[in-house]
Structure 1
Amino acid sequence: MNQIVSSSSIPAPAGAARGLPPALEFHQVVKRYGLVTAVAGVDFTVDRGTLVTLLGPSGCGKTTTLRLVAGLELPTTGQIRIDGTDVTFRSAAERDVSMVFQSYALFPHMSVLENVCYGLRASGVGKARAVEMAAEKLATVGLAGFEKRLPSELSGGQQQRVAVARAIVLEPKVLLFDEPLSNLDAKLRRRVREDIRQLQQQLGLTVIYVTHDQEEALAVSDRIIVMRNARIVQDGTPRDLYERPADRFIADFIGNANLVPVEVTRDDSPLARVSLDGMVLALPHRDLPAGRLDLAVRPNAFLLRAGGPQPGEIAGTIRKAAYLGSHMEYELVLPGIDRELFVVDPGVERPFEPGAVVGVRIAPHGAALVPADGGAA
């Protein structure tokens, strides 16, 4: 069974000092579909005014968890609380949440303004007030002047903003995003994710954000909850997960770490002695035992130097090289390791050719020890 690893560096709840409950609480929530368990005993809380991302590979349970928050699915067992109120078996209409869907779900025959007004009018808000509120939120997302256009007359990024305006105009206690950028091209994804993060911080929104994109999660989140096989495997800030992964899965899934077998010796100090074919590093042992462990090394933590190895380095052989404009990507082979390692190097002026032997060092800030068997750190 995977162990949940929480970070001690997560900020205290925004409302804790005022005695307010968290915006969202999951207590031992289980969701089964027949014999299939989609969510298995999940526990977490979300602080007011924070953006928390549910991250993981396809089929890990993150979208089901989001749908449980929304009330689109009801749990088999467990409890869900929003703003301190038990909503476990309440319908979607009885929960103060709004969702931005992957497909945007805009009404094609309605204008932008009518789309944003729709939820307000359905809730009984008068037409004049609904128009006023909708226009205000369209201005907030940068779409003032687009009120009369149809969704078909907008770009993908503009349609996404309409969907956001339609959700936030209801002033929900929790705003949900389900893979919101998956329909956008790479350049637009970056701009829209920045817009979402800025809006969340500007308005102090509580957001649950689902994605399978690690870079997207790192860019927008206050906290990331990583799921695998229907369970939470690590919960922490983006920096915690990137620099202190709990196990091999987290290290590889977030940041494409290279996993290198090493020998570790340690004493009572916080640092362990990490040996790799004669090269020695001093790294935090993270309470792992001495012996055979894996070293998770980020692609940009390999430092390459032309020529044979000098003291403190080991010899490596370049197998493949690719020029990507701002950097080079290499496949590197080290002694005693039966797989090629992925390396990112900023030196594009004098790149290494395939077959070149280079001196290799590892930067401590890009390396972390993890259990060799994939257990939690």
Structure 2
Amino acid sequence: MTHFPTSVPLGTPAPASPVNRPAVEFRAVTKRYGAFTAVTDVSFSIETGTLVTLLGPSGCGKTTTLRMIAGLEQTSIGSILIGGEDVTTRSAAERDVSMVFQSYALFPHMSVLDNVAYGLVVGGMAKRQAEEAARAKLELVGLAGLEKRLPSELSGGQQQRVAVARAIVLEPRVLLFDEPLSNLDAKMRRRVREDIRQLQQSLKLTVVYVTHDQEEALAVSDRIIVMAGGKIAQDGSPRDLYERPASRFIADFIGDANIVPALLEARDGGLGRFKVGAASLILPHRDVAEGPVELAVRPHAIQLAAVGEGSGGVPGRILYAAYLGDHMEYEVAVTLGGREITLFACTLDVDTPRVIGDAVSVGFVPQSVTVIPA
């Protein structure tokens, strides 16, 4: 695996000033296609040198938002600023951005070197100078020595790196990625996302990255903007979104989560005592009122014990069991809030697996349980 040069992780960006403006800014942007509204009143800013991911399910508006940054779509209402300059009505060629497409969009009849140098040559740079710049970027992405090959002679991961080199050789103010890993297998996706993150940090690139893959977003991002129904559902760091989801949708969408009914019995300072069936948990109450609430319980927060071994647990029954090498996955039926629900659980105990039909006592690790705000 090729690793790009590393750097010290980026710190908190300084406040915007005349010489340190947000790299990208959306001001109350709406995009309509006839009677259909794809993006509704979206506002955000992206600081220079950060990687921000637009995340969400299909049809949420994330790709439309990216295409508006690129100038491939025009806003219906609102303004877009890049480097503090209003580019709302400018064409794609006038915005100083480069885009890495899902399909890579490499010229099949051109060599790797010619593909990377193409934008510079079209922009008026002398061919020899453009090729020198292209060679430098190919070396940066770990493709030195492959300059004469055609795209068809490269693996999917190598083609992706060519597309990245072609984008960064233009030295854009903002680099855009549209579902860049969707054509790669699982192992290659992990490798290439590490490469992209290391490249972004080492060169302090400003990157806007679109994906529907939650794990991918958590792995590469300084910040994640989750979209749903054309609006921003939550905007924050990967840890904020995973550990402090702002809604039921976010809790269910960011990583696997079991949505469990509970009762907040009492509050004391920032903590509350929650009742989940027979189990009692002390958790940050996140300002919810006493009474019925919902908790987001991560699969690894569920502890399974034989009946009689776990005191104060919730009675359950194994519905499904799967061995995945380094862990077991289970579906467990429990009765909570007067109805039967199914919990998804993961455990590292692969030596003494439970089988379908086993009666178990279900407990919860408080550190991986969070309250869902009303």
With normalisation by structure 1, the TM-score equals 0.93
Question: Match for residue 130 of structure 1?
Answer: 130
* 1:76 counterpart = 2:76: yes
Q: Distance in 1 between matches of 2:189 and 2:335?
A: 40
Q: Distance in 2 between matches of 1:187 and 1:160?
A: 14
Q: How many angstroms does 1:128 deviate by? A: 1.6
Answer yes or no: is the 8 Å Cα contact 1:309–1:360 preserved in 2: no
Q: How many angstroms does 1:249 deviate by? A: 0.7
Q: Distance in 1 between matches of 2:360 and 2:60?
A: 40
Question: Match for residue 281 of structure 1?
Answer: 281
Answer yes or no: is the 8 Å Cα contact 2:264–2:291 preserved in 1: yes
Question: Match for residue 20 of structure 1?
Answer: 20
Name stretches of at least 5 consecutive residues in structure 1 with no aligned partner: 1-9
Secondary structure of the corresponding residue to residue 334 of structure 1? strand
Question: Match for residue 347 of structure 1?
Answer: 349
Question: Match for residue 359 of structure 1?
Answer: 361
Answer yes or no: is the 8 Å Cα contact 2:310–2:363 preserved in 1: no
Which letter does structure 1 place at the counterpart of 2:273? Answer: R
Q: State how 1:23-62 maps to structure 2 within 5 Å.
A: 23-62=23-62
Question: Match for residue 3 of structure 2?
Answer: none
Which letter does structure 1 place at the counterpart of 2:82? Answer: I
Q: Classify 1:57/1:95 alpha carbon distance in 2 versus 1 (closer, same or farther; 3 Å).
A: same
Q: State how 1:214-363 maps to structure 2 within 5 Å.
A: 214-308=214-308, 310-336=310-336, 337-363=339-365
Secondary structure of the corresponding residue to residue 340 of structure 2? coil
Secondary structure of the corresponding residue to residue 282 of structure 2? strand
Which letter does structure 2 place at the counterpart of 1:111? Answer: S
- Give the superposed CA RMSD: 1.5
Q: Distance in 1 between matches of 2:173 and 2:96?
A: 6
Q: Distance in 2 between matches of 1:189 and 1:316?
A: 37
Q: Distance in 1 between matches of 2:310 and 2:205?
A: 53
Q: Classify 1:316/1:120 alpha carbon distance in 2 versus 1 (closer, same or farther; 3 Å).
A: same
Q: Distance in 2 between matches of 1:19 and 1:365?
A: 42
Name stretches of at least 5 consecutive residues in structure 2 with no aligned partner: 1-9
Q: Distance in 2 between matches of 1:189 and 1:55?
A: 17
Answer yes or no: is the 8 Å Cα contact 2:335–2:341 preserved in 1: no
Number of corresponding residues: 363
Q: How many angstroms does 1:320 deviate by? A: 1.1
Q: Distance in 1 between matches of 2:200 and 2:93?
A: 23
Moved over 6 A (4+): none
Q: State how 1:78-93 maps to structure 2 within 5 Å.
A: 78-93=78-93
Answer yes or no: is the 8 Å Cα contact 1:309–1:315 preserved in 2: no
Q: Percent identity?
A: 63
Q: How many angstroms does 1:14 deviate by? A: 4.6
With normalisation by structure 2, the TM-score equals 0.94
Which letter does structure 1 place at the counterpart of 2:352? Answer: R
Q: How many angstroms does 1:291 deviate by? A: 1.4
Q: Distance in 2 between matches of 1:265 and 1:35?
A: 47
